[in-house]
Amino acid sequence: MALGLAGCAANSGGASSSSKSSSESSASSTTTQSTTSSSTHDSQKSSIVSHHQRAVKVTYTNLSDTARLDDEYREEHLYQSVPGTVKQNRIYQWDAQNVSDHQTVYIDKKAVATFKDDDDQNEYDHEDFYRIAFSKHATHHYWVNDDVIDHDLHHDNDIDD
């Protein structure tokens, strides 16, 4: 999926479906993003952080897919919202989620966030995020960076022996 901004390099996520711009989805994104109660449960240990850079644009795509966690998923964060879309974002701890290596996750949304390049303010960087759940009918969803998903295991039917 390529964005039509001058000087932008498209970051292909391998998923194709219709998408809507952040202005079209701003009303619906509030209702589709997961909510968290004010009390923190042991299974949802979290902290609040401020994102250093605000997203210029976010494009959301609805998905209905499964994938597996990458070997190094613990190096990334579990977010309540797409990073750069809110001033303070809740980050959840992997240890509190009771997950294992290569566990299947359920993906219901993809977000492509566009940021101004730190080195060259006339260029843009794109980051892919996925909204995942750890069970098919989970009530709690998390936003994760593209690096959390193992794309090699995600496309196992493409492997030739």
User: Of 129, 151, 119, 120, which is closest to residue 51 (Cα–Cα)?
Assistant: 129
21-78 per-position pLDDT tens digit: 443 333 333 333 333 333 334 445 556 655 567 889 999 999 999 999 999 999 999 9
With 90 as the cut, is the pLDDT of residue 130 above it? Answer: yes
- DSSP H stretches of helix in the chain: 22-32, 151-154
With 70 as the cut, is the pLDDT of residue 140 above it? Answer: yes
Q: Which residue has the higher pLDDT, 155 or 64?
A: 64
How many Cβ atoms are within 10 Å of 133's Cβ, its own excluded?
16
Q: Do the bridges between strand 19-20 and strand 142-145 make them parallel or antiparallel, or are there none, so unpaired?
A: unpaired
76-106 per-position pLDDT tens digit: 999 999 999 999 999 999 999 989 889 999 9
User: Of 39, 134, 23, which is closest to residue 78 (Cα–Cα)?
Assistant: 134
